Structure 1
């Protein structure tokens, strides 16, 4: 899952208006930020096999430390503590923790049985990736809902808050479709490098948008264009 994870963060904006957009986008991706580090270090294993599944060429062979439910809870706790130490926002810290764990839940829907409850435990997964139409329908529905909720909860106060926001939405969609229909990456090392570059770009872009897209109440209610 790709844009579905970002959708969870966007949808959380009305629940935690003080949480900046980069944090909302990064929190549901914490597991996928940890994962390439562990793969690159040889602690976890994955490979690229074109045609492996209709919706992904990735074979996720061993990822107990980034993607088990128990370790997901640990990453969630660490993320919440870090956020609270930075912002002193208790509600936001709880939402950040829930967003981190939401990654496991959404992956459970799409993955093959490769997600354990704890390292070394039985692996689970409903396998939606076996259906390309089903995968696309679910992810785009989640993403559309997330974009709508975030847009309604915030107010554009400048060009980056308006054009930059919709350009970010378009970039995420294009990236998602390219991953589905483009040429598979040649190696898992290419996946690791691409993951880091994309996440860094998206977070930097989100910072620029966030500076000109505050919560609607903070921007003075309906005094600005809500788009």
Structure 2
């Protein structure tokens, strides 16, 4: 199983840039900064902020990191973050989608505009076909976690663990509170997936990420 430790890879960017090819990473929208062992997206108002990195993926992949809310959620009752996985080619500027990829999205919305999005804390799975075309595949409520995760949002590092089987399409989002409990969603792939990039994404909130 491949494991993607988000912060470890991004913190590598503080090393001399001569060690990295310019095309190996990039930031598209947002205000990104690395401080110590965490990466921060500090623009709480932007609708889309992305940071992408070369990371070959195939088979079963595990994504492990932690997230801390910094600012923006309580002003409008809406914020979210997630990962585009199995990305073929990341967008280098503002875009709604992210090439051919799937987006694993964790969302808090007190007044969702769509009936397909549960109120409060939830998880969504999207398929991105182009930089501008995405389709919602699945959406599940995480209301049971809301009181725990939201109780001290500005001082809580919430552990994130997600496994994705690029062959069967099974996605498991592990409960950060109860060991062994996970929520399941399914990709709509007809064949085994592979991708060369992963993209971290935020919406309407400032967050920091670590490992």
TM-score normalised by L of structure 2: 0.28
Larger RCO (alpha carbons 8 Å, 6+ apart): 2
Structure number with higher helix proportion: 1
Structure possessing the higher radius of gyration over alpha carbons: 1
User: Structure 1 length as normaliser, TM-score?
Assistant: 0.26
